[in-house]
């Protein structure tokens, strides 16, 4: 995303902040300075490969992208938080003394959860006013929730001079989503949003949160995310059910082979997995097979990235989708259609559903020179079959969530 476009977003937010929180108050009008506002740029993320491996303590390759949630705000010297979201056209206000979940204000619960997490860990937070905008699609599998969480965490760290370790921030935001919002997501989304690096992807091991940056200069290619616009809310889908199935499989396998070192499905080797077939319930075996083979696909993908073999990487992406479709059973007819059609088009290097599934988007790597043709073909096929038009989101890799100075943009 160009600096000029970022500057325009922030300028609009600054004007909005003035109109909502300053205008009409003579004292504030006289003292208001645009440069006093804390500005945060918080990216979304794409997961290249390694789906549903995070909470199974496996592997993934992911990174932040140049689609963002923008924030601007400052202290209000009161005991409450007041928020206005420009892109949602929604506002809210709540007291820091009584942070409670409210099902009627879904998106605001992510903010509340982060604040409650920091307060619980002894950090001093005061009231503030904040305005938010975004060009990051919601519900498209690009982690808008993690972007919001990490953005708010970074904002309060800057605003109140909180000294928080970067991994602690990841864990606080993840805990907010798990324990306050009620979605048992793994750490990948928050980690990607925090640790993203332009022109690199992150090879991440969830067992110990060790990671490695791998160069990935897209050059004449780009990441194409196709949003099926089949909306899903993870709290209302089979996501938590899949997590339980994996936990059940771990307990069963550990007991069966009498090995207490099997603490996650990522402790199951390929050879061990093949021996389990017909010995555990079929549904659980399919979940195991996805996780074990997906970890193997991540390892292959790492090698292909280092070799700069995009064709081989693309084939692994298609294989990942087939596993998510048949073994993990989180795909949908619309997602399958998008991947199937992408597999037939020149200039496309792989494709698979991205995110939890049950709707959302597919990810692919494509030649920039073929992008218009690809969009036309996919749109035509999708409209004919579903009488709907998908959204196409062109992405490049980005640095992680950060404070930005308006004057330096």
Q: Which domain holds residue 72?
A: 3-216+398-408
- Cα 75 from Cα 71, distance rounded (Å): 13
In a domain, 334, yes or no: no
Is the pLDDT reported for residue 66 higher than 60? yes
pLDDT band at 22 (very low <50, low <70, confident <90, very high): very high
In a domain, 139, yes or no: yes
Contact 87, 293 (CB under 8 A): no
Q: Which of 54, 133, 189, 327 is catalytic?
A: 189
Residue 153 sits in a domain whose CATH number is 3.30.230.10
Per-residue pLDDT at 24: 85
Q: How far is CA 111 from the centre of its chain?
A: 16
pLDDT band at 349 (very low <50, low <70, confident <90, very high): very high
Per-residue pLDDT at 88: 86
Into how many domains does the chain fold? 1
In a domain, 310, yes or no: no
Per-residue pLDDT at 110: 96
In a domain, 388, yes or no: no
Q: φ and ψ at 170, to 5 degrees?
A: -55, -45
Higher pLDDT, 4 or 173: 173
In a domain, 327, yes or no: no
CA-based Rg of the chain, rounded to a whole angstrom? 22
Bridge partners (DSSP) of residue 133 are: 70
Is the pLDDT reported for residue 140 higher than 70? yes
In a domain, 207, yes or no: yes
In a domain, 281, yes or no: no
Is the pLDDT reported for residue 236 higher than 60? no
In a domain, 96, yes or no: yes
Decide if 340 is catalytic: no
Bridge partners (DSSP) of residue 71 are: 40, 132
- Cα 26 from Cα 39, distance rounded (Å): 24
194-211 pLDDT, tens digit per residue, is: 999 999 999 999 999 999
């Amino acid at each position: 995303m160009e600096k000029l476009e970022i500057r325009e977003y922030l300028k609009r937010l600054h004007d909005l902040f003035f109109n909502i929180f300053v205008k009409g108050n003579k004292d504030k009008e006289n003292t208001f300075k645009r440069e006093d506002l804390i500005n945060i740029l918080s990216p979304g993320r794409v997961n290249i490969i390694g789906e549903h491996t995070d909470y199974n303590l496996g592997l993934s390759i992911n990174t932040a992208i140049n689609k963002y949630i923008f924030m601007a705000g400052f202290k209000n010297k009161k005991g409450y938080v007041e928020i206005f979201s420009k892109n949602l056209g929604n506002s809210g206000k709540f007291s820091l003394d009584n942070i409670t979940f409210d099902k009627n204000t879904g998106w605001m619960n992510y903010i509340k959860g982060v604040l409650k997490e920091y307060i619980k860990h002894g950090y001093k937070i005061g009231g503030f006013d904040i305005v938010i905008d975004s060009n990051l699609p919601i519900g498209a599998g690009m982690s808008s929730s993690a972007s919001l969480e990490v953005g708010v965490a970074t904002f309060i760290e800057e605003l109140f001079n909180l000294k928080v370790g970067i991994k602690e921030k990841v864990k606080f935001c993840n805990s907010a989503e798990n324990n306050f919002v009620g979605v048992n997501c793994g750490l990948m989304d928050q980690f990607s949003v925090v640790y993203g690096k332009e022109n690199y992807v992150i090879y991440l091991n969830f067992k110990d949160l060790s990671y490695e940056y791998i160069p990935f200069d897209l050059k004449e290619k780009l990441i194409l995310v196709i949003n099926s616009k089949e909306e899903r809310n993870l709290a209302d889908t089979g996501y938590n059910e899949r997590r339980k199935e994996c936990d059940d499989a771990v307990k069963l396998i550990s007991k069966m082979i009498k090995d207490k070192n099997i603490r996650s499905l990522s402790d199951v080797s390929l050879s061990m997995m093949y021996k389990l077939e017909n010995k555990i319930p079929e549904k659980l075996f399919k979940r195991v097979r996805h996780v074990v083979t997906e970890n193997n696909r991540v390892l292959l993908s790492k090698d292909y990235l280092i070799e700069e073999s995009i064709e081989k990487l693309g084939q692994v992406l298609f294989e990942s989708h087939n596993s998510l479709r048949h073994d993990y059973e989180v795909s949908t007819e619309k997602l399958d259609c998008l991947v199937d059609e992408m597999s037939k088009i020149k200039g496309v290097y792989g494709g698979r559903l991205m995110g939890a599934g049950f709707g959302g988007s597919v990810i692919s790597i494509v030649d920039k020179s073929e992008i218009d043709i690809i969009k036309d073909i996919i749109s035509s096929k999708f409209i004919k079959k579903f009488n709907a038009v998908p959204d196409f989101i062109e992405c490049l890799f980005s640095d992680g969530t950060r404070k930005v100075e308006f004057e330096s943009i």
